[in-house]
Structure 1
Amino acid sequence: MSTAVEVNFDGLIGPSHNYGGMSHGNLASATNEGEVSNPREAALQGLEKMRLLMKAGLVQGILPPLPRPNFDLLVSAGFSGSDAEIIESAAKTAPGLLRAAYSASSMWAANAATVSPSADTKDGRLHLTTANLSTMLHRSIEAPDTTATLLSIFENEEAFGVHGALPAHADFSDEGAANHVRLCAEHGASGVELFVYGREAGESAVGFPARQTRMASESIARAHGLVAENAVFARQSKAAIEAGAFHNDVVCVGSLDTLFFHELAFENTDETLASLSQAADGRFEVKPVMVPQAEVPIEDAIKSYLFNSQLLHWPGEDRLVLLAPLETQETDTTRAFCERMTSGNGPIGRVQYVDVRQSMRNGGGPACLRLRVVMTPEEIAACHQGVLLTEEKIDALQDIVRRTYRDRLSPNDFGDPSFASECQLAREALLEALGLSGLV
């Protein structure tokens, strides 16, 4: 068993952060559609969350925003001419398409990829598969740029295996680590990987879309070279999806040997827990912490994003810490449950609340903002060092954000060609600070 730690790679919120309301099934996104956003505040909030974890002694990484607007999408849709002409024409005739081209949703790095650490894979490499995000137009354009980013960070092929996205077909719908949980005794030990899917390939969608298929999850497990007995596939409950749990991480989060989930998270809870225990096979005991529907109605769980929190092994503490959004504290049922939970002797000992309101209003909490990558010291040394954060680097990034990001943005602003130039200049400055100028 190797020594390993969980590294959180947070998505840096981009300068086009907006409330476009493009995510069907995401209640917060729909509720706040068209409202004025604050990209500057959003990015600063995200960076402060990263600073909090880094100062606690955790290894913290960052993923840069993707290029916006995505001119490839607009050109593919028939627009031509100069950049300014494309934007002006799209704003007049296809404003919805222009909003999609400006989407800043790559900030939710939990959807960037699915990750299997080297302790779980047959070839002993850390594997990452870019999510195709094929269900939603504005997210389906992310995969090529996300793959390029991951290849730039995890470029050492002896240590890392970066896989491109699955085919962009409904049968292979894949939303990344938001539907994946890894359980283990220690981060460096062989673990159990839980893949949660909403539908089978070929199954017709009814109501809100189920964004993950079993075929996609099985394909990723094969590509990563997982031992079959260590991979568990469980169906997300239809009730959760219809209530607005568009990803499993809206109703479930896990870390080390602890699985924290809502009673309605899985279609068959007993079968899921039994399969996890069987896969653990004496290596560790799975500790389930189930939140009853009677104590926290699923509507409150989704409104507060209780489960879209980071469950962390906090240095110096013997029980896990739940890093939850302020909305969890402000919702009576979830606050009361957290108080009861942490007053006992269970595996979760403390809840710490953070302000990520700009992200939350678009439907993404602390867990959405990060991609968890379990890494050995050798793997940390082998990745691109520019994306590993220090106090000085966070300060530098915040200076760039304050200098280049707007503090007010509405979807109507996308028709101004000068905003595209602002986004480009901001991203170039961020990439230079991270040593990733080759991505421009």
Structure 2
Amino acid sequence: MLREINFDGIVGPSHNYAGLSLGNLASTRNAGHVSQPRAAALQGIDKMRANLALGLAQGLFLPHPRPHAHWLAELGTTYDEADPALAANAMSASAMWAANAATVSPAPDTADGQCHLTVANLRTMPHRSHEWPATLAQLRIAFGSDAFRVHQPVPPAFGDEGAANHMRLAGAHGEPGVEVFVYGVSGGAFPARQHIEASRAVARLHSLPPERTIFAAQSEKAIAAGAFHNDVVAVANERVLFAHEKAFADRDSLVAQLERLVPGFEYVEVADAEVPIEDAVRSYLFNAQLVSPADGEMTLVAPTECRETPSVWNWIERHVAGNGPIRRVEIVDVRQSMANGGGPACLRLRVVADPAAVDPRFMVDEYKLDQIADVIRQHWPVEIDNSDLQERSLIEDVVKARSALLAALDLNQLA
């Protein structure tokens, strides 16, 4: 049976605030602050528990090896000898944001009836550009059955940021859908990370029918306001597109196409006059998970910052009190991730598939989450100050922590 599975990235033991992501305003604003890897990872576990409580299928991805010694060797240096800025790039825990792991096209959408995943190259930012080999290794294990086809990244001449710039709409998750690839052209002082050439390449690799594939430009105003990925200003679920007024360069064309192609399509727009785009970006209103729980009440899983931003919370209360498609809001605390520029939606990759076809080591229940939480409490650093990133004792702790998690999950092949 096909279901939507949310695969969340476990926050790694090297989680720190180095401020490496140009255009990500939260990352820049909190650069140099002391991070709390243990609290961050446990917040992520609690978010997965909340998804299970809603009756959703839940999976996980693991932290990558850090520091990334092989990448530094390719640059002719070691972690001990590297410039501090380069060392910070090698220590980044940004793979926790699984929305950037890959682009996913479920079996009902593809010509060969397989679920296709293309790992993202993330070429725009140095600290993310070296993630894809470790991500690919996990995808090939988790989705190793014949139900899936896993592709290597698009060549790095063209930037691809994965599902953070991709949406899928359908009458229901298991029905044939319409896939929307959102690309950037310009973001003023900030880079547009998703190239249309990469989006078109992924659509071809996934054997998507052109008549049910849409390429939409992201608004320059959105990128300039800090929407470095489309999922900061828009999110889709089944037949509903929830977006800010300034999300797309040509909103009317996109909406018209979706009205024609998606049965029962509903567009929920938040006007800039009600929620300024700056508030939307700061609160990560749209970087929430829009999900379909077992009880059928479409739910927005939003960060606590939404409740603390008056314009955003007022809009949410009005919508839920009305007759709109979003019937419920669940608040989750992922402050440690938010401070580095990633909300609830950044932390997960959506895969529509039969959970029985996934390697069970990547699926979770309450018992397995308890096991993972125990490892985190025992091994994750409590705090990391950026000035300590090259300390040998910290490096040893980070390596041991990840090894303990791999052992607990019987995934030592990823060591």
1:166 corresponds, among 125, 150, 154, to 154
Q: Distance in 1 between matches of 2:124 and 2:72?
A: 18
CA deviations on 1:248-278 (whole Å, 9 max, x unpaired) are 0000001010000000000011011112223
Give the Å deviation of 1:417: 1.8
Kindly provide the amino acid, as one letter, of the partner of residue 182 in structure 1: R
Question: 1:82 maps to which residue?
Answer: none
Give the Å deviation of 1:346: 1.0
Question: 1:83 maps to which residue?
Answer: none
Q: Give the 3-state SS of the residue equivalent to 1:87 in structure 2.
A: coil
Question: 2:291 maps to which residue?
Answer: 312
Give the Å deviation of 1:382: 2.2
Q: Is residue 244–residue 302 contact of structure 1 (8 Å, CA) maintained in 2?
A: yes
Question: 2:184 maps to which residue?
Answer: 198
Q: Distance in 2 between matches of 1:251 and 1:111?
A: 16
2:335 corresponds, among 357, 366, 371, to 357
CA deviations on 1:385-439 (whole Å, 9 max, x unpaired) are 0111111111110110011111110121121123222222111121222222101
1:391 corresponds, among 352, 366, 385, to 366
Kindly provide the amino acid, as one letter, of the partner of residue 308 in structure 1: N
Give the Å deviation of 1:206: 4.0
Q: Aligned runs of 1:319-334 on 2, under 5 Å?
A: 319-334=297-312
1:32 maps to 2:30? yes
Q: Is residue 231–residue 279 contact of structure 1 (8 Å, CA) maintained in 2?
A: no
CA deviations on 1:7-29 (whole Å, 9 max, x unpaired) are 00000000000001000000000
Q: Is residue 229–residue 279 contact of structure 1 (8 Å, CA) maintained in 2?
A: no
Question: 2:117 maps to which residue?
Answer: 128
Q: Distance in 2 between matches of 1:439 and 1:248?
A: 31
Q: Distance in 2 between matches of 1:419 and 1:279?
A: 53
CA deviations on 1:172-195 (whole Å, 9 max, x unpaired) are 100000001100011110000111
2:383 corresponds, among 404, 408, 411, to 408
Kindly provide the amino acid, as one letter, of the partner of residue 217 in structure 2: R
Q: Aligned runs of 1:193-232 on 2, under 5 Å?
A: 193-199=179-185, 206-232=188-214
Q: Give the 3-state SS of the residue equivalent to 1:271 in structure 2.
A: helix
Q: Identity of counterpart residues, as a percentage?
A: 51
Unmatched segments (≥5 aa) in structure 2: none
Q: Give the 3-state SS of the residue equivalent to 1:415 in structure 2.
A: coil
CA deviations on 1:80-107 (whole Å, 9 max, x unpaired) are xxxxxx33222xxx10000000000000
1:14 maps to 2:3? no
Q: Aligned runs of 1:79-98 on 2, under 5 Å?
A: 79=77, 86-90=78-82, 94-98=83-87
Q: Distance in 2 between matches of 1:255 and 1:337?
A: 19
Q: Aligned runs of 1:166-315 on 2, under 5 Å?
A: 166-169=154-157, 172-199=158-185, 206-280=188-262, 284-315=263-294
Q: Is residue 381–residue 397 contact of structure 2 (8 Å, CA) maintained in 1?
A: no
Q: Give the 3-state SS of the residue equivalent to 1:229 in structure 2.
A: helix
Q: Distance in 2 between matches of 1:433 and 1:5?
A: 27
Kindly provide the amino acid, as one letter, of the partner of residue 274 in structure 2: E
Q: Distance in 1 between matches of 2:156 and 2:303?
A: 33
Kindly provide the amino acid, as one letter, of the partner of residue 176 in structure 1: G
Q: Is residue 292–residue 298 contact of structure 2 (8 Å, CA) maintained in 1?
A: yes
Question: TM-score scaled by structure 2?
Answer: 0.98
Q: Distance in 1 between matches of 2:53 and 2:218?
A: 35
**Stretches of 4+ moved more than 4 A in 1?**
none
Give the Å deviation of 1:367: 0.3
Q: Distance in 2 between matches of 1:411 and 1:167?
A: 33
Q: Give the 3-state SS of the residue equivalent to 2:388 in structure 1.
A: helix
Kindly provide the amino acid, as one letter, of the partner of residue 415 in structure 1: Q
Kindly provide the amino acid, as one letter, of the partner of residue 364 in structure 1: G
CA deviations on 1:41-98 (whole Å, 9 max, x unpaired) are 000000010011113221100000011000112112211xxxxxx33222xxx10000
1:52 maps to 2:27? no
Q: Distance in 2 between matches of 1:167 and 1:423?
A: 31
Q: Distance in 1 between matches of 2:259 and 2:148?
A: 29
CA-based RMSD of the aligned residues comes to 1.1
Question: 1:434 maps to which residue?
Answer: 409
1:42 corresponds, among 29, 40, 43, to 40
Give the Å deviation of 1:279: 3.1
Q: Is residue 87–residue 416 contact of structure 1 (8 Å, CA) maintained in 2?
A: no
Q: Distance in 1 between matches of 2:237 and 2:187?
A: 31
CA deviations on 1:106-150 (whole Å, 9 max, x unpaired) are 000000000000010111101100000000000001011100110
